[in-house]
Structure 1
Amino acid sequence: MDRRKFFKTSATAVGASVAGTLTLSAGTAGAAPPFDLPMPFGDPLGPGPVNPLLPQQDPNPAARVAELGRLQAKYVWSEDSNYVHGVPMAASLSIEDLPTLEWFTTSIDQQYQVISNIIVALSRHFNNLAGDLLQPLVDQLGGLKNTIDGVFKIVAPVLESPAAYPLDPAARSAEYLTVQTAETVLRTLDQIRDGLFAALRKIFDSPGLGNFGTVDGVQRYVQLWATMPVPAIAETFHDDMVFARMRVAGPNPMVLRQVNGALPQNFPLDDKGYRSVMAGDSLGAAISQGRLYMIDYAELGPSASESATYKLLTGPGYNTAPMAAFAVPAGGGELQPVAIQCGQDPAKHVMFLRPGPGDADRYWSWQMAKTVVQTADFNHHEWFSHLGRTHLVSEAFCVATRRHLAANHPLCVLLTPHFEGSLFINQLATYLILAPETTGDLILAAELGDLVATAGQARLDWDFYEKMPTNEFAERGVDGAQLRYPYRDDALLIWDAIHTWADDYVRTYYPADSDVREDFELVAWADEIAQVGKIKGFRRIDSVDQLVDVVAMIIFTASAQHSAVNFPQKDLMEFMPFYCGMTAAPAPSATTGNGEADWIRMLPSLLTSVAQLYVLDTLGSLHYRPLGDYRTNTVPFPNAINDPRIVGPGGPLDKFRATLRQAENTINDRNSQREPYTYLLPSGIPNSTNV
């Protein structure tokens, strides 16, 4: 089924109404689905234990080849199946790619909360328009609550005691219909969201109502959190140390790099300017001692044109490609901001130096320059670090695994839980963000075509081996102990745990390098990833050591790396005065002469702000199935890995889970000695890129 039609047809295929579905319970017999599709998560009686075998050892190779042929006809590559053109993705989705019932109910609960919050906030903000524009949405949401409660009533006992759930096909039909109801509820929430944005467009027809203006300042944004807690960052977002901390512990901590030898020629920070910020230090000493660092957003390319982009719904929007310098003080300590240049050309962009305490003349110009950096970082985060380099990367490995590793291949058994929900959420993300006049178009300044091209190029430029954590930190020069770097420290801790787990697992099935080279399914898999999937730098695998690295990197990217960039969206990025996808005014051109009103004029409009709140709260709230959870998608969710050599007492899986528990303790201990960084706590890392 075409990806763009998948959501419109999958729920209605059963031909059952929402009300009819809710009459079924987990233990009630129901008719089989009236169409020739598999049950949502495999065989109606649930998957049996899989005996993992390498293809060269399988006594029934013909059945294995036949099954792979079926899957290769089902999962087909396309570079034009979605909105990210030129990037290999699955041309179609299957009903098996739906998330679990548990995922649906968790997502429903979260989306209901955020949409309700927004409607309440807007009703208060525009009370004179609430009756005409917002009240119908309030009524629709209230009616939907009964349906949601009905779904939860059915699902709760299944999730609380899955082992007690009956395995007969009739009961599984009830589960199937409940899944379809849950998806229908999600679609209804989507319709309410669309109605919300339609109401906002009408509000914009009244001059001035769509503009937050300068009265009450940040409080106008804070009021958008009507029924949900205001993000804690609202209390400290102007702080310069918080701004610096985002480079090492924020949503996009992969841009900072050490200055090696000299500053770039187009960033003319001199010693006098440096000393005015970093008292008792010198520019030369900071560079020679490896204490000077930079961020540079040049690779944003056409999505950071510097000139205004005019859109019908949001008006003029701006984004540039700034550069900024940061330093560790000579005596050690936390990273500190030094200077910002709001574009690539120093002839067009003045250098902003961090003002000292009490320097009122330069304070607001500096805050405006920081907003320019935060906006560029927002764009880089969403298109490069998040969508391009976790979601779209994992899709390539998922599709290749579906097509070339048989169900009983040891690597398919291991990796499939790390791909759970990936194809579905990628489709949902591109549908909600990349389609014309959807949230990406509302949140970000650049034209949609430039944004899509940026995301696609980010994915194609990602190099598999270069981006392995140890290699990537060394390449950026941020592996030295003088830089306090929570993301790096915790990422390496989780990487080591995953790498050891991959090593124990892989060597169980591949005792020698010759076993790797003789695995013809693995050869076809690697060739397709490199040649068709276009994963840069990927190549055939010749040794057990190399295979361990490959498996660890796939798991790390789908789980820990995605967690590090996804969950800060809720805590940090949904608060628009701190992070926004566009500014409503150009970058400042003078280091003095600006006030708070000038900074506020840079912040996005109401429509943009609501879209940003909705999307980022939705993406950053759903923690589903933690790292190390290897259950299947089929109630009663039996283990996907059953080999006693792996799951036996004290075996590799027990060791992996124990290592993750120890990592959790280590990070908690670190957090007692530093500003807490929680995004790589193993208990909060989903096993797959499922949100």
Structure 2
Amino acid sequence: MSDDTNDKIEELRALINAPKATVNSSDLRAARFFNAPQCYSGDIIQGGPPVGLGGVEFFKDPYPSVSLPQYDSSTLTEREQALIQAKIDNFFEYAKLPGAVVHGNVTCEDVQTAKDWQYRGGLEEQEYNFGVNDADPDFEGLRMFEGTIAYLGKHFAAIVLTPDIAARFLSFLSVIYSSVFDNNLGRFTVEIMDPILVTFPHRKCNSVEELDFYPDFCPSHPEYEKRIKQWPKAPYDNDFRSDDLIAWLMTASQTPVFNYLQPYTEHMRKFPMTNDKFKRVPGFESDNLDQAMAEGRLFILDFKDFHEETVAPRNWDNYGARLHAGIALFAIPTHSNTLKTVAIQPTQNPVGNSFWDGLGWTLTNIFGYGGNQHPQSKIITPADNYWAWQMAKNAITTMTSMASVIDHLSTHVYLGPIPVAYFRNIPDYHPLRPLLDTHLMALVTNNHTGIFTEVGAQIIGDDDPYGNPYNGLLTGAIQKLSGFSSATFVNATVRRKNHYSFFEQGTPFDRMDDPSLAQIDDYPQHDDDKMMPIIREWVDGYLRLYYHSDNDVIEDTELQAFLYETTHDGKVRGFPDNADSIDRLVDIISSIIYWMSVNHGFSSFASFMKLGALGFYRDHPIEPTHGYSERDWLNVCPPMNVGAGLFFFSRIFTDLPEDWHRSLGKYPKGQFKHDPNVYPLLDVFQSQLQSLDDDIRAKNADRRWSYDLRMPSTITVSPWN
């Protein structure tokens, strides 16, 4: 190691008060920031300022005694005046985001009040907290950048070789400490992205370990248990090479609305899978492709709907990342019920058999895909070159990851008009407010931050807070960290939003009704989804406290206006524009809660850089029989700085600070203190959710990999994160 390198090491170590270097490079790698005795000396060593998803809440006056408008004889004038002002403050905006409806006045009091957890009473109130205090002033939440510091320590020797590393890291710390204290989480997160990209080396990772961005903490740290549980590794972290994992990810999806896996019922010209290829796959040597298809044992994952987006122009600063609209085939072996991954074609276009097709394939292997609008690829199976197969799996999982991110934001955009109509038409005096306020919390402000809040933009003040929708917190980050341009990502999100229908995607289906899907032994996405009956029982009991007949529903002018505007002005596809019975109203309100909580789930797969990166870093096709190496596989994974940026950025979207923190079933203290009759119903609701959560935990204990996206304790009560 050169003197120059040693100078850099000592310079950086002095700068951040790191442990002293001792003997060799292996010692340097082991001398982490969390080694005793220095492992908890100072804020930086502990992970920096406690900024993240914390326990802040604000007090608001209790709700008035709620009633239906037709029975309000004492506060009708105030009620009507409140609605007049609400319609001035809240309005639908059609031009800010092409193809979608957003709230036109994010600075109004209704929206700003609804962005925070609001308690309306003291500790004596009866809302149960599942053992987690959502307003604990000592609860600091997820420290968003403590993992960045831990990763730097874990790979110190490798990273320190980067030129000017000390200056870069000093700049990084400067951004942390100077930007964080304005309490604007969105702006801070945008501003932290560039320092991460600049601080870490822009080079491909040299090992699987360098792709592991999860922080390690020394067990002697006094806050070890508190900190480590907020950085949970994926249950399949040690099994990411397993072919079974790819199939399992299709049944244990990253978002609840992810339903791309379908029975394979007829051969596809664009996916020329043959019986010979099929029989070469381990476990299927004695099987037959046509017989397996006839018996409903074949399943297809086809990202055809994303083809135009994967070949759209990409941004110049995504460092060569691509996304491929791939196709994958899965099968159940005879005398088995376990889904297996059998074949992957990374793109939508196969290679033909003509001379010119062969010549084109040769040229593509030499020069790459470039701007080819119909990139060709070959079918790859586990029987082909080992590293070719690993690369093919990454090609399909990166598209799976991006599709999940699009799914998640598209539900935000799809649901966005509901609170606009709600605030315009449902006053504090209406019984729907105590029930739905918490489930609508932060949807408008989070949509605005993710789509419109540019770096340095003011959320309040005289300036127009609606910035460029292609440079928001999420949309702008995608531009830097994925294989899509920001415009492509936004267009894909709006397109996917138009796919949803309120009841169709808001009502669980029984996969056992499909003979093909019923053959799969365990399908967690559907098998664990038992929440709708529990939600519906809670909603039914609550609404019948105030609606005593179907006529009460029909004559509720505020309710009917809310439904009508959501459909006709908000353009929420499939949303009913009226309700004529208590049962119909129960269906609607239950589906709203289901959409805002259960259908809002999002796993941490996008953080899993070994498989889930949002870009495939290879411009050339994969040749099934070529002698690739692990180095070739590492080259399709993201560079260190991009992987770090994507990992740490994605944490704010994918994890609750801990189980039962503002989860489904939680309401702030005093939410229902205006009506004691609610509490017996709430107790049943929460007890049923706790029981379901316990059942899923027991089931997960017997699974190869646990699945938490359908656990009430890990489902947010609203799109607040």
TM class by shorter-chain length?
0.7 to 0.9
| Counterpart secondary structure, 1:509 | coil
Match of 2:167 in 1: 132
Task: Tell me how far 1:667 sits from its aligned partner.
Answer: 0.8
Contact preservation (8 Å) 1:119, 1:138: no
Q: Could you tell me how far apart the structure 2 residues matched to 1:250 and 1:309 are?
A: 27
1:263-292 CA deviation, whole Å, 9 max, x = no partner?
444223233333333244333333333332
Q: Secondary structure at the match of 2:301?
A: strand
Partner of 1:54: 68
| d(CA) in 1 for partners of 2:479, 2:117 | 30
Change (3 A) 1:670 1:555: same
The match for 1:653 is 682
Q: Does 2:546 correspond to 1:517?
A: no
Q: Which residue of 2 aligns with 1:196?
A: 195
Please tell me whether the aligned partners of residues 309 and 492 of structure 2 are also in contact (alpha carbons under 8 angstroms): yes
Alignment of 1:552-571 (within 5 A): 552-563=590-601, 566=602, 568-569=603-604
Residue 450 of structure 1 and its aligned partner are, at CA, apart by: 1.4
2:405 matched to 1:386?
Answer: no
Identify the range of structure 1 (419-428 vs 228-237) with the bigger mean alpha-carbon deviation.
Answer: 228-237
Q: Shift of the alpha carbon at 1:340?
A: 1.2
Between the aligned partners of 1:643 and 1:223, the Cα distance in structure 2 is 48
Match of 1:366 in 2: 389
Q: Distance in 1 between matches of 2:716 and 2:598?
A: 8
What CA distance in whole angstroms lies between the structure 2 residues aligned with 1:195 and 1:443?
A: 11
* RMSD between aligned residues: 3.2
Q: Check conservation: 1:119, 1:196, Cα contact below 8 A.
A: no
What does residue 183 of structure 2 align with? Answer: 183
Report the Cα distance in structure 2 between the residues aligned to 1:281 and 1:642, rounded to whole angstroms: 66
Whichever residue aligns with residue 576 of structure 1, its letter is M
Counterparts of residues 478-493 of structure 1 (less than 5 Å): 480=518, 482-491=520-529, 493=530
1:529 aligns with 2:566: yes
1:380-418 deviations in Å (ceiling 9; x for gaps):
1111x21102x2233222222111112222222211110
Does residue 429 in structure 1 map to residue 450 in structure 2? yes
CA distance in 1, matches of 2:709, 2:390: 27
One-letter amino acid of the counterpart of residue 96, structure 1: T
Deviation of 1:108 (Å): 6.2
Contact 1:41 1:96 in 2 (8 A): no
Aligned mates of 2:209, 2:116 — CA distance in 1: 38
SS in 2 for 1:495: helix
Query: Cα–Cα, structure 1 residues 506 and 331, in superposed 2: closer, same or farther, change >3 Å?
Result: farther
1:248 paired residue number? 251
SS of the residue corresponding to residue 624 of structure 2 reads: coil
Determine the C-alpha separation between the residues in 1 that align with 2:197 and 2:140: 23
CA distance in 2, matches of 1:219, 1:115: 15
8 Å contact kept, 1:420–1:690: yes
User: In the alignment, is the contact (CA less than 8 A) between 1:99 and 1:424 conserved in 2?
Assistant: no
8 Å Cα contact 2:550-2:582 kept in structure 1 = yes
Paired residues for 1:657-676 under 5 Å: 657-675=686-704, 676=706
SS in 2 for 1:469: coil
Cα separation, 1, equivalents of 2:719 and 2:582: 26
**CA pair 515-574 structure 1, distance change in 2 beyond 3 A:** same
Deviation at 1:142, TM superposition (A): 6.4
Residue 547 of structure 2 contacts residue 582 of structure 2 at CA under 8 Å; is this kept in 1?
yes
- The residue that corresponds to 1:416 in the other structure is 437
1:319 aligns with 2:323: yes
Deviation at 1:451, TM superposition (A): 1.1
Paired residue secondary structure (1:689): coil
Give how far 1:121 is off.
6.2
Question: 2:280 corresponds to which residue?
Answer: 276
The answer as to 2:708 corresponding to 1:684 is: no
Go from structure 1 to structure 2 and tell me whether the alpha carbon gap of 1:192 and 1:523 turns closer, same or farther (over 3 Å shift).
Answer: closer
Q: Does 1:607 align with 2:599?
A: no
Mapped to 2, the partners of 1:476 and 1:587 lie a distance apart of 39
- How far apart are 1:510 and its partner, in Å? 2.8
CA–CA separation in structure 2 for the residues paired with 1:588 and 1:103: 53
Aligned to 2:204: 212
Cα distance in 1 for partners of 2:294, 2:186 equals: 57
Maintained 8 Å contact 1:319/1:445: yes
| 2:485 aligned with 1:447 | yes
Which residue of 579, 582, 585 maps to 2:618?
585
Cα contact 2:409–2:493 (8 A) shared by 1: yes
Distance of 2:348 and 2:248 partners within structure 1: 23
CA separation in 1, counterparts of 2:286 and 2:517? 25
Cα displacement (A) at 1:104: 10
- Does residue 548 (structure 1) correspond to residue 586 (structure 2)? The answer is yes
Give ranges in structure 2 of 5+ residues lacking alignment: 1-55, 119-134, 218-227, 352-374, 455-468
SS at match of 1:613: helix
| Distance verdict in 2 for CA 1:407–1:474, change over 3 Å | farther
Match of 1:294, SS? strand
Work out the CA distance in 1 between the residues paired with 2:446 and 2:599: 16
User: Is it true that 1:619 corresponds to 2:656 in the alignment?
Assistant: no
- Matched residues, number: 581
Task: Give deviations 1:475-521, integer Å, cap 9, x for gaps.
Answer: 98876254520121112x12221122222223333333333222222
The percent identity for this pair of structures is 22
- CA apart distance, 1:85: 2.8
Residue 480 to residue 542, structure 1, CA distance change in 2 (3 Å): farther
Query: 1:105: Cα distance to partner?
Result: 8.2
Measured in 2, the distance between the counterparts of 1:63 and 1:192 equals 44
- Report whether the alignment pairs 1:302 with 2:327: no
Q: What displacement does 1:525 show?
A: 1.2
CA 1:548–1:57: 2 relative to 1, 3 Å: same
2:113 counterpart (86, 89, 96): 96
Q: State the SS of the aligned residue for 1:456.
A: helix
User: How far apart are 1:125 and its partner, in Å?
Assistant: 4.0
Output the amino acid matched with 1:316: G
Contiguous gaps of at least 5 residues in structure 1: 1-39, 149-180, 204-208, 632-636
Assess if the C-alpha contact under 8 Å between 1:111 and 1:189 holds in 2.
no
Deviation (angstroms), 1:529: 1.3
Q: CA deviation at 1:342?
A: 1.4
Deviation at 1:301, TM superposition (A): 4.3
C-alpha deviation, 1:241, in angstroms: 0.7
- In structure 2, relative to structure 1, the CA distance for the partners of 1:455 and 1:443 (3 Å cut) is same
Structure 1 residues 58-87: Cα deviation after superposition (integer angstroms, max 9, x where no partner): 224332222112112112211334xx4321
Per-residue Cα deviation, 1:291-341 (whole angstroms, up to 9, x for no partner): 322111122243211x77351x33322111111111222323321112111
User: What amino acid is aligned across from residue 62 of structure 2 in structure 1?
Assistant: G
Q: Distance in 1 between matches of 2:693 and 2:290?
A: 40
Asked if 2 retains the 8 angstrom alpha-carbon contact of 1:323 and 1:344, the reply is yes
Following superposition of structure 1 onto structure 2, how do residues 499-510 of structure 1 map, counting pairs within 5 Å?
499-510=536-547
Residue aligning to 2:43: none
1:262 aligns with 2:266: yes
Question: How far apart are 1:198 and its partner, in Å?
Answer: 6.6
Is 1:404 aligned to residue 425 of structure 2?
yes
Say whether the 8 Å CA contact 2:663–2:716 is kept in structure 1. Answer: yes
Higher helix share: 1
Give SS of 1:275's match: helix
Alpha-carbon distance in structure 1 between the residues aligned to 2:183 and 2:567: 35
Rate the CA distance shift 1:52–1:274 in 2: closer, same or farther, 3 A.
farther
Residue 369 of structure 1 deviates from its aligned partner by 1.2
Task: State the 1:378 CA deviation.
Answer: 1.3
Q: 1:524 to 1:191 in 2, by over 3 A?
A: closer
Structure 1 residue 119: Cα displacement: 5.8
**What amino acid maps onto 2:652 in structure 1?**
T
**CA offsets, 1:631-668, max 9 Å, x none?**
2xxxxx42246423322xxx321111111111012112
1:116 & 1:336 partners in 2: Cα distance?
39
Shift of 1:123: 6.2
> Once structures 1 and 2 are overlaid, which stretch shifts more, 274-283 or 314-323?
274-283
Secondary structure in structure 1 of the residue aligned to 2:437? helix
